[in-house]
Amino acid sequence: MTDHLDAATAGQGRDLHAFIAGLPKAELHVHHVGSASPRIVSELAARHPDSKVPTDPEALADYFTFTDFAHFIELYLSVVDLVRTPEDVRLLTYEVGRELARQQVRYAELTVTPFSSTRRGIDERAFMDAIEDARKAAESEFGTVLRWCFDIPGEAGLESAEETVRLATDDRLRPEGLVSFGLGGPEIGVPRPQFKPYFDRAIAAGLHSVPHAGETTGPETVWDALDELRAERIGHGTSSARDPELLRHLAERRIPLEVCPTSNIATRAVATLDEHPLKEFTRAGVLVTINSDDPPMFGTDLNNEYAVAARLLELDERGLADLAKNAVEASFMDPSGKARLAAEIDTYTTSWLAS
């Protein structure tokens, strides 16, 4: 982890970090390409010397220093440009599964942007086969269950929405692991309501609605995501803290927020961790889940995000276990999978506290 993150969790006992490292977890907001490890990014960059992405893993931390959200998206797309073949897709996905397993993540919903790959010339059938092949390998070799959220890259326009919903709902293409439908990219200048017809089709096909909203714009975007896109969870939702009525609504309807604290600092959506509204969410009774978003790009991982949350919310082991169980509750796992993972979290915590 980078120095600013060490500082973010300084003062916490080594024991709390060890507890988090072993805690069984679910992750609900983590992007596919945004999870490429420095090793994979540099390997892909070396294969494609026309790219400006550094080939030296050490140089990547500097490369991934963002001036604002738009700069983040620009650099994110430079990594998307490196993923050019179905084998690149398979390797990337398999390695993401390995990294999640290392952190004791038992279940993850990974946000995948198929439009970005198909428009770059990857065959749609080969793309689906690559992610599914990696999903099955990750489950059988590492024990981590992966599920997909296909997201519209909103700034790419309605053409990308049409393509994404087609890929998500065509029975000949739709991958077995697909559970939800999302909307990512910049929010400024990309109003959410225009995507309603595409979300309607995805929902009619049995997918859950999980758009990003309120990451870089105000609470009105979160309302739009709820009212127009029928959001069941909100990606980030940071600006909800500015609207007490919205907080009440989220709490009453138990609509979870997928909070990604370090991401919000790295993209400068929030100025400092101490100004992050996580505590306001919990005080208002909102169901919060903790996530890493694009971990290597933000110099973080899910374990570090739990450590950051423990500091901001002043949590002990039991509080952290409750946070992990929030993600289980908010997930799209079936009831028996939820019960199993919640029980595993309880067993781990009880035996940790007894030792």
Ligand X SMILES: O=C(O)c1cccc(C(=O)CC[C@H]2O[C@@H](n3cnc4c(=O)[nH]cnc43)[C@H](O)[C@@H]2O)c1
Residues carrying an active site annotation: 215
Indicate which of Zn ion, ligand X, none lies near residue 174 (CB less than 5 to 8 Å, by partner kind): none
Q: Is residue 328 involved in binding ligand X (CB under 6 A)?
A: no
Q: How far is the CB of 293 from ligand X (least distance, A)?
A: 5
Indicate which of Zn ion, ligand X, none lies near residue 215 (CB less than 5 to 8 Å, by partner kind): ligand X
Three-class secondary structure of residue 157 per DSSP: coil
Report the DSSP beta bridge partners of residue 235. Answer: 212, 258
Q: How far is the CB of 75 from ligand X (least distance, A)?
A: 10
Q: How far is the CB of 140 from Zn ion (least distance, A)?
A: 28
State the first-to-last Cα distance of the chain, in angstroms, to the nearest integer: 28
Of 236 and 325, nearer to ligand X (C-beta) is 236
Rounded CA separation 226/229 (Å)? 6
Nearest 5 degrees, angle CA 100-CA 108-CA 181? Answer: 140
Q: Which stretch binds ligand X (CB under 6 A): 16-24, 58-66, 151-159, 279-287?
A: 151-159
Nearest 5 degrees, angle CA 189-CA 212-CA 113? Answer: 95
Indicate which of ligand X, Zn ion, none lies near residue 343 (CB less than 5 to 8 Å, by partner kind): none
Q: How far is the CB of 34 from ligand X (least distance, A)?
A: 5
* Footprint (CB under 6 A) of ligand X, residues 208-227: 212, 215
Query: Residue 76 corresponds to which tokens in the numbers above?
Result: 């994110």
Q: Is residue 111 involved in binding ligand X (CB under 6 A)?
A: yes
Q: Which stretch binds ligand X (CB under 6 A): 11-19, 41-49, 70-78, 220-228?
A: 70-78
Cβ-contact 236, 212 below 8 angstroms: yes
Cβ-contact 229, 195 below 8 angstroms: yes
Binding site for Zn ion (CB under 5 A): 293
| The CA-based dihedral angle spanning residues 344, 104, 110, 134, taken in that order and rounded to the nearest 10 degrees | -110
Q: How far is the CB of 140 from ligand X (least distance, A)?
A: 27
Binding mask 278-307 toward ligand X (x if CB under 6 A, else -) reads: ---------------xx-------------
Cβ-contact 3, 333 below 8 angstroms: no
Among 184, 214, 237, 295, binds ligand X (CB under 6 A): 184
Of 119 and 268, nearer to ligand X (C-beta) is 119
Rounded CA separation 161/154 (Å)? 7
Three-class secondary structure of residue 241 per DSSP: helix
Indicate which of ligand X, Zn ion, none lies near residue 155 (CB less than 5 to 8 Å, by partner kind): ligand X
DSSP per position, 34-93: GG--HHHHHHHHHH-TTS-S-SSGGGHHHHT--SSHHHHHHHHHHHHTT--SHHHHHHHH
Report how many residues bind ligand X under the rule CB under 6 A: 21
Cβ-proximal residue to Zn ion, closest one: 293
- What does the binding site for ligand X look like in residue numbers (CB under 6 A)? 31, 34, 73, 76-77, 80, 111, 113, 116, 119, 151, 153, 155-156, 184-185, 212, 215, 263, 293-294
